[in-house]
Every structure is written in C-alpha cells, then in structure tokens.
Amino acid sequence: MFWKRTIPIAIVGLVGFLTLFGWFIDQPNIKAFVEDDATQWYDILASFAIFLGALNLLKMQSQKILKKQKGWQYSIFAVGGFVFSILAGFVIKGNDAIQWGAHVTGKGTLFKWMFEFMFTPLAATMFALLAFFVASASYRAFRIRNFEATLLLVAGIIIMLGRVPIGLRISSWFVMYITLLGFSIVVNTYFKNKQITLAFVGGGILLITIAGYLMGWPIDEPGLFYLPVLQDWIYNIPNVAGTRAIMIGIGLGIFATSMRYILGIEKSYIGE
C-alpha cells in the first residue's frame, strides 16, 4: 500500500504545490520548473494518454465487431478509418521529395487528400446538423413559462435580428410600438382593468406618434430602440458580465478540485 498509495499521493501533492505556488514565488529554479519542465511533463503524459486512448478505441470497436453487438456495422467504419488514418499519417508519404512531417500538409499527399476530401466535408456535415439541434434546443428554451424564460426569449430575438441585414431596416419606432404593447400586457396583468389598459395603450401610441412626427421618423433614432444598438449592448454588457461570472465560478471550481488532489482528499487517480 505504501508504494501504490502513499508515494503517488506524495508525488501529486509535491508537484501540485510547486506548480501552484511557483506563480507566486520569485525563485528562478521554481519558475523554470513551472514554466518549462511542468509543461513538458504534461505534453509527454498527454501524448501517452492519446496513444492509450487510440488503442482503447481500437480494442473496443474490434470487440464489438467480433461479438456482433448492436451497431457493429458502424464499428467497421470506425476501425477502417482508424487504420486508414494511421497508414496515411505514418506509412504512406507520397512524393519522395516531401520530408516526413511535411507530408501531412503537403499538396497531393494521401493524408492531405484525406483531410480535404473526407474529414472536412464530414466535419461540415456535422456542424450543419448541429444547427438543427440548436434550433430545437432554442425552441424548448424560449417557450415562455416564467419571467426568466421571457427575458431569454426577448434577448434571443433581439440578438438574432440585430445581427442580420433585416435588423438594420427595422425602424426603432416600430420597436417602440412593440415595446409599448409588451408593457400593456404587464399593465393589464397587474391592474386587470380594461379602461386602464386602453388608456395606457392609447396614450403611449399617441406620444410615440407625436414624437416620431416631430423627429422625422429616423430609422435609427432613438438609438435605445434600434435593434443593432440593442443587440450590441446586450452582447457587450449583460453577456460579458454573465460570462465573467461563469469564468470566476469555473476558476473557483478548478482551484477547489486542485486542492483536493494536492491535499490527498481526492484519490480517483489511484483507483480509489
């Protein structure tokens, strides 16, 4: 247990402390370890992990074919693609004038042909299908169920319209009329009085119409209701604030997880 448990935990704790606190210590040897040695160790371990992952993929798909499990026909394509990629990348160089390594990007080589005429079209197809999944997810998310879903729906519509050419042609005055109707729903829901709602809608339409007539109905004024300006504000202010909050949360989560590994609380890497 000492060699299988205590030693690995001690190594992880020592390297973790050096890497973590090396950013706060102005010592040349420690800084060299953090900025150079630790990065090289990571690259070496990642290379072995990729190699083992590829072998594990080949093993699992081959077993699926041999046992003829459900969907084994697709595993044939997975294994065939794996073997073909290995041959194209490590065995068949193509033109003798092309050096090893350069043949993966050189024109006319098998690997380059595979990348351009097989991988790229397949990747484009996957991303094209992803658009339909995004549309389906957006439909489910944008259904108005509560106040938060309403905000998401309104923000999504503004962002989508504000980033396409048709959004440039939608007058800010039209958006003001739509906004007035939206607020009239809130007023009617709160007061539950038709006369108050009618007065609110009629007075709002009258005020907007008079203001538009006096200003000459400019398409981009007032800027507060112009869709490109609105989407830019949403994208740069609330969106950035939310993104920063998420990144702060992710950073705290990474720090907490790292401390669990360093202090030996988390032992999943040794099978516990």
Per-residue pLDDT of the chain (272 residues; tens, 9 = 90+): 677 778 888 888 888 888 777 777 777 888 888 888 888 888 898 889 888 888 898 889 898 888 888 888 888 988 888 888 887 777 666 665 556 655 666 676 777 788 888 888 988 998 888 878 877 777 776 666 777 777 888 888 888 888 888 888 899 999 999 999 989 988 888 888 888 999 999 999 999 999 999 999 999 888 889 999 999 999 899 999 999 999 999 999 988 888 888 887 877 777 66
Distance, CA of 208 to CA of 226 (rounded, Å): 15
Q: Identify the burial level of 265 via C-beta atoms within 10 angstroms of its C-beta, where 0-12 means exposed, 13-18 middle and 19 or more buried.
A: exposed
The confidence score (pLDDT) of residue 209 equals 93
The confidence score (pLDDT) of residue 98 equals 59
- Could you give the 3-state DSSP secondary structure of residue 70? coil
Residue 229, CB-side half-sphere exposure with 13 Å CA sphere: 12
Report which of 91, 76, 89, 82 is spatially closest to residue 53, judged by C-alpha positions: 82
Element (H, E) at 234: helix 227-236
The DSSP 8-state label assigned to residue 36 in this structure reads: I
∠ Cα 188 179 219 (to 5°): 155
Distance, CA of 136 to CA of 142 (rounded, Å): 10
**Contact call for residues 9 and 263 (beta carbons, < 8 A):** no
**Contact call for residues 106 and 95 (beta carbons, < 8 A):** yes
The confidence score (pLDDT) of residue 99 equals 61
**Contact call for residues 172 and 220 (beta carbons, < 8 A):** yes
- Could you give the 3-state DSSP secondary structure of residue 16? helix
The token pair at 89 is 């990348």
The DSSP 8-state label assigned to residue 99 in this structure reads: P
The confidence score (pLDDT) of residue 248 equals 95
The DSSP 8-state label assigned to residue 146 in this structure reads: S
∠ Cα 106 107 108 (to 5°): 115
**Contact call for residues 188 and 134 (beta carbons, < 8 A):** no
The confidence score (pLDDT) of residue 160 equals 83
Q: Taken in order 231, 237, 243, 245, is the CA torsion positive or negative? A: negative
The confidence score (pLDDT) of residue 237 equals 92
The confidence score (pLDDT) of residue 39 equals 82
The confidence score (pLDDT) of residue 177 equals 93
Residues 6 or more apart whose CB falls under 8 angstroms from that of 262 comprise: 12, 13, 16, 17, 20
